[in-house]
Amino acid sequence: MANENHIEGKIDKNKIPAHIAIIMDGNGRWATEKGLPRHEGHRQGVEVVREIVRYCSKLNLKALTLYAFSTENWKRPLSEVNYLMSLPEKYLKEELPELIKNKVVVKVIGDQDKLPDKVRRATSEAVKKTAENDGMILNFAFNYGSRAEILTAVRKIVAEAEKGKIKKIDEKLFSSYLYTAEIPDPDLLIRTSGEKRISNFLLWQIAYAELWFTDVYWPDFKPDHLLEAIYDYQSRKRKFGKI
């Protein structure tokens, strides 16, 4: 693979995708292949989050959404789930001062009611303390599932319609009831680890996103891989249904 500086020189800085979403996959397999416990993969994955968040902020992205924990991840062994639940608090405690300094806006999407109190406190504090910032939106999908999100939106719309508050349902209105109502839809979706599926992630929002898959496990994902994805994105012609 070309080095980062070589790839960076090919990137058109005027055509950086406004919103990149990433399915951070492969932590467990990375650890297993190295003879390490799975939590070591997740620990290294957080280090990659730090690096990629900083780099995306440098690129002046408007939004970066990271799929951190899905509604299906509760099915994993309890010890692994408990470790995963410890990571948001640790990451935000360590990184919040820098995020504030860089004017990053922290947001969280997903069903927060089912999360442990310590996770809700940590994310709530980060959201509150960065709310007035005007830089990149760092959006964590935590306890997130797109089907659940869509069903929640439908239930809210039905309830409002029954009260006579909604007369017409269109795409714009529906989008306003999603977790991502204040965030532009992703232009580019990246998935690591070699898997080529969406895994219940932003199903409505990625309708016209460009998809980019890599065999690289998330703990090995570097800025040059991100740049490779952006370079490929810039080579595509986005038609949005047109010719």
Residues catalogued as catalytic: 25, 73
DSSP string, 100-156: HHTTPEEEEES-GGGS-HHHHHHHHHHHHHHTT--S-EEEEEEEE-HHHHHHHHHHH
Supply φ then ψ for residue 239, to 5 degrees: -100, -25
Supply φ then ψ for residue 66, to 5 degrees: -115, 125
Q: What Cα–Cα distance (Å) separates residue 154 from each residue in 12, 70, 108, 174, 182? A: 39, 20, 20, 8, 18
Q: Which residues pair with 219 in a beta bridge?
A: none
DSSP string, 45-110: HHHHHHHHHHHHHHTT-SEEEEEEEETTGGGS-HHHHHHHHHHHHHHHHHHHHHHHHTTPEEEEES
